[in-house]
Chain A
Amino acid sequence: MDINTYKPEDFKSDQMVRWCAGCGDHAVLSSVLKALPQIGYKHEDVVFISGIGCSSRFPYYLNTYGFHGIHGRAAAIASGVKVANPHLSVWVITGDGDALAIGGNHFIHLVRRDIDLNLILFNNAIYGLTKGQYSPTSKQGAVTKTSPFGTVERPFKPGGLVIGANGSFYARTIDSMPKYSTDIYLEAAKHKGTSIIEVLQNCVIYNDNIWADIADKENRDDRIIMLKHGEPMIYGKNQDKGLMLRKNMIEPVQLGENGISEKDLLVHDAQTEFAGIHLLLANMEYPKYPVALGVIRACEAQSSYDEKIEVQIDAIRAKSKIKNMKELLHSGATWEVK
């Protein structure tokens, strides 16, 4: 295989894909397969690591190096892989339960450390593999098997969590927009640091149509905004809606009404360190707002955690008099018995 002529099929394993028919995971797999030939890494340098859940079967369906971990720990396992060998392109596959409930601690610390890897969070707001219990992203009031009268819990918003943990990259996409998703994965792969991609994903069995309000093709364009760095925040079927900042709040506006023109709109700056506006964008919910898709935050980093470790090792090796175990054993206070 030549890195310049990789095709999506080159990354597919011979294992039968066992997700339910109609599951959003199929589309994510196909989008990732389209992205992989373009990320600039050799086939043997790509590693996929997952936790537990429906989505976590993902590594078995690729023929790259892969590791199917235990519940919640994919981020930690992947951290070890990347820190031990920074030359690899490391991808974490996880879900809303895996990453935000049992693995919440590892998730925020991965983001805080900014290790150079990519994490795809399949958010279907339900526990699928255990057959239909509410998850940390289920909406308050969600009726599930463990909340037959509606959950009273408040959900996490993954974007808020990433930004709160001082994350450097957060993007959001929808499973049913495969081509757009491929572009987002490529953006994530380019970013130096931890890239978190939240995929709004449909569980056809236990939480069907949970994202239908915004994902259905018919109304989608009026209910989402696809953010692009450096471009004004315009959306709508007819590209006639936009977002303005008023009284420190984001407000959807109609272009042409009350004299509002394109120059009044917010221009998306994904690269600013200032997280305030990114948080407002990440938290926008339909119907009050359009839901933001695309790269919401992508701060340029000088170097990532794994690189800093290498730099430190090189610097200390250059300075230290101790070059091997023998020298260490005989360093410091020793004495001879004659």
Chain B
Amino acid sequence: MSKQAKVIEIEEVAIRFSGDSGDGMQLTGTLFSDTSALFGNDVSTFPDYPAEIRAPQGTVGGVSGFQVHFGHTQINTPGDYCDVLVAMNPAALKANFRWVKPDGIIIYDSDAFDAKNIEKAGYKGDPFEEEVVGGIQLISAPVSSLTRESLKDIGLDQKSIMRCKNMFALGIVSWLYDRPLEHAIRFFNKKFASKPVLIEANTKVLNDGYFYAETIEAFANNFKVRPAEIEKGIYRSINGNQAVAWGLMAAAEKADLQLFLGSYPITPATGILEELAARKDLKIKTFQAEDEIAGICTAIGASFSGSLAVTSTSGPGLALKGEAIGLAVMTELPLVIVNVQRGGPSTGLPTKTEQSDLLQALYGRNGESPVVVIASSTPSNCFEYAFMSAKIAVEHMTPVILLTDGFLANGTEPWKIPDLDEYPGITVPKVAEGTTGWLPYARDPETLARTWAFPGTPGLEHRLGSLEKMNRTGTVSYVPENHEEMTHIRDQKVQRIAQGLPKLEIIGDEDADLVIIGWGGTYGHLVTALSEVRREGHKLAMVHFNYINPLPLNTAEILGKFKKRLVCEINLGQFASYLRMNHPEFLYRQFNKIMGLPFTVKDLKEAILKNLEE
């Protein structure tokens, strides 16, 4: 038996599981993160996978990674750098070595580090001589052969046996961080209910990995991360795509409308379509269209007929939908367009994250074509902002673009399940049967929204369309003065929504000289950088925008409180340009990265410290 390892208590840990896309790293990471969440830690995860489904085995192009960051304190990001890298082959090491902390641990499958795989990964000789290992602790574990040995009598073929090796790795890491195995075993029992041999195999390999780590004495100690101080309540784990889908469903239930999604599969937005397609029990109708244009056009048709209509897409798809968004603007129908941003232009980096569709969302259409633009900022608040997008679309009879991104869509975090009774109601401007003298384009004098007559209602038969309409009557009109009036009305209708929006709030030091400004999915990284810089004794403030068009009413008031404004975004400065246009009275500095990856807290801190000085 091994000697008792020393247990060291730590605040937070980031672990990155990496291997071939077929190695099951996403599942391994998910099981580990769910276990940590159930254990009571705060958790944030981020999967990093290639666009190719199964790129050639052993190559860097085919490496799939999953980072889990968990802690005793509040965790707002998946962590820039990892404390532990699990590398199932040399390519995984090659792709991820740069993300390991200087005092981190690398656990690797020594069986997979043969000459052939080393060459495939692009190393010339011993990978650990080529990489600058320094103070990193290397743990060589023959994961493949021990898995084979563990399952030799179980009656599975070699291929199936090798599929279990990810659980050996999970076992090792579970011991290292004192994680219970019950959650993973419960998962096997459910997943492989019809194949008991797989329950047995995965459970055995997981246990063997755990005991292997305990036995080998390679680890000087293991670590304990105590549960975090988290608000009381019932929690679940959620990612951004699921949260969007659920927020839309919650809005449909509140509004008592049928939810209709017209969509075409596109990475990284497909999860929304998949999630809603599975919810026929809640009467959700999904339509997998022949293309992006049909996705939005079926949604517009559904909106015309009285559904809460949604289309979901990512950057290139938003470009294809542009003309139809204009149709929704012209017909003044409620519509939610969810755009999960990815790296661009063109096909770009489909599986990576970016914030470069902001100007496309705001302006990417012909004509004066104003829409509401909202951005969610954490995986779980995608629920809240999807709900609000639907509420605004319906109550103001307008298309709303909800921006999320690849980082939010795939990232998971624990989420306190909300009490839907505390969510605001949604007032549907539906025209009642029996209304006389109704006009399709007559408006609420406050909001300028028109009202909504559903086909099937006698007496409200009317025609909508893409041609300019006469205000009030809705007949086709080429009258120059009417076009100008309608253009102003459509603009004002969107601007007046600001009156009902929450005010922008300052996070951090109100009396700081410098404010960092962010929007959308960068919230977690910005707020972490903010707290670290403040902890180091600097004064710093932050504002984060979720409502982009219209901007919160107190935007100028807040921005005017500071001497220096640093707009941080994952593009070349689109939000900074938008602020310059809307509030030219201020000067804006920029910090931009565009690597297809989230910010790192390290880069942000450097930029902040530099701007504090300059």
Contacts and interface: CB of A to CB of B under 8 A. Distances in A.
B294 A84 contact: no
B298 A79 contact: yes
Contacts of A64: 461
B30 to A, nearest CB: 11
B301 A67 contact: yes
Contacts of B533: none
B438 to A, nearest CB: 13
A21 interface: no
B306 A324 contact: no
A320 B282 CA distance: 9
Interface string A233-252: 00000000000000000000
Most buried by A among B260, B290, B464, B475: B290
Interface string B234-267: 1111000000001001100100001010100000
Interface string A263-303: 00000000000000000000000000000000000000000
B507 to A, nearest CB: 24
Contacts of A205: none
Contacts of A42: 458
Interface string B386-429: 00000000000000000000000000000011101000000000
Interface in A52-75: 52, 59-60, 63-70, 73
A316 B324 contact: no
Contacts of B475: 15
A105 to B, nearest CB: 5
B420 A325 contact: yes
B283 A88 contact: no
Contact of A85 (B234, B253, B305): B305
A324 B282 CA distance: 6
A325 B246 contact: yes
Q: How large is the interface on B (under 10, 10 to 19, 20 to 34, 35 or more residues)?
A: 35 or more
Nearest to B290: A109
A70 B324 CA distance: 7
B302 A66 contact: no
B307 A322 contact: no
Contact of A328 (B34, B230, B249, B476): B249
A192 interface: no
Q: How large is the interface on A (under 10, 10 to 19, 20 to 34, 35 or more residues)?
A: 35 or more
A52 B280 CA distance: 34
A52 B250 CA distance: 36
Given A76-B293, A76-B298, A81-B301, A69 B327 contact: yes
A334 interface: yes
Contacts of A77: 297-298, 300-301, 304
Interface in A306-328: 309, 312-313, 316-317, 319-320, 322-326, 328
A68 B464 contact: yes
A229 interface: no
B302 A337 contact: no
Contacts of A87: 456
B159 interface: no
B21 to A, nearest CB: 25
A106 B283 CA distance: 25
A335 interface: yes
A84 B260 contact: yes
Contacts of A322: 281-282
Contact of A47 (B38, B298, B455): B455
Nearest to B238: A329
A66 B464 contact: yes
Contacts of A329: 236, 246, 417-418, 420
Contacts of A45: 455-456
A317 B299 CA distance: 23
Contact of B456 (A85, A105, A326, A328): A85
Nearest to B259: A84
B234 A325 contact: no
A78 interface: yes
B233 interface: yes
B289 interface: yes
A256 interface: no
Nearest to A332: B236
Given A84-B285, A338-B232, A70 B466 contact: yes
B461 A44 contact: yes
B463 A67 contact: yes
A223 to B, nearest CB: 37
Nearest to A324: B253
B465 A59 contact: yes
B287 interface: yes
Interface string B428-455: 0000000000000000000000000011
A81 B37 contact: no
Given A69-B327, A79-B287, A88 B456 contact: yes
A49 interface: yes
A65 B456 CA distance: 8
Interface string A94-109: 0000000000011001
Interface string A177-221: 000000000000000000000000000000000000000000000
A79 B416 CA distance: 38
A44 B455 contact: yes
Nearest to A11: B461
A44 B456 contact: yes
B458 A44 contact: yes
B600 to A, nearest CB: 29
Contacts of A22: none
A166 B398 CA distance: 38
A83 interface: yes
A7 to B, nearest CB: 16
A88 B417 contact: no
Contacts of B307: 84-85
Most buried by B among A42, A73, A330, A336: A73
A105 B258 CA distance: 27
Interface string B28-66: 000000100110100000000000000000000000000
A337 B232 contact: yes
Given A78-B301, A323-B281, A85 B290 contact: no
B140 interface: no
A87 B280 CA distance: 19
Nearest to A18: B476
Contacts of B492: none
Contacts of B416: 337
B234 A330 contact: yes
Nearest to A108: B290
Contacts of B566: none
A236 B100 CA distance: 86
Q: Which 7 pairs, one residue from A and one from B, show the smallest C-beta to C-beta distance? A: A80-B301, A68-B465, A80-B298, A320-B281, A76-B297, A84-B302, A66-B463
9 contacts: A13-B463, A44-B461, A47-B305, A68-B463, A76-B297, A80-B303, A105-B294, A329-B246, A336-B234
Interface of B: 34, 37-38, 40, 183, 230-237, 246, 249-250, 253, 258, 260, 262, 279-283, 285, 287, 289-291, 293-294, 297-307, 309, 323-324, 326-327, 331, 416-418, 420, 454-467, 475-476
Given A325-B253, A335-B40, 17 more contacts: A43-B461, A67-B301, A70-B297, A70-B326, A76-B290, A76-B297, A83-B298, A105-B291, A105-B294, A317-B283, A325-B246, A325-B282, A329-B417, A333-B183, A333-B236, A335-B37, A337-B416
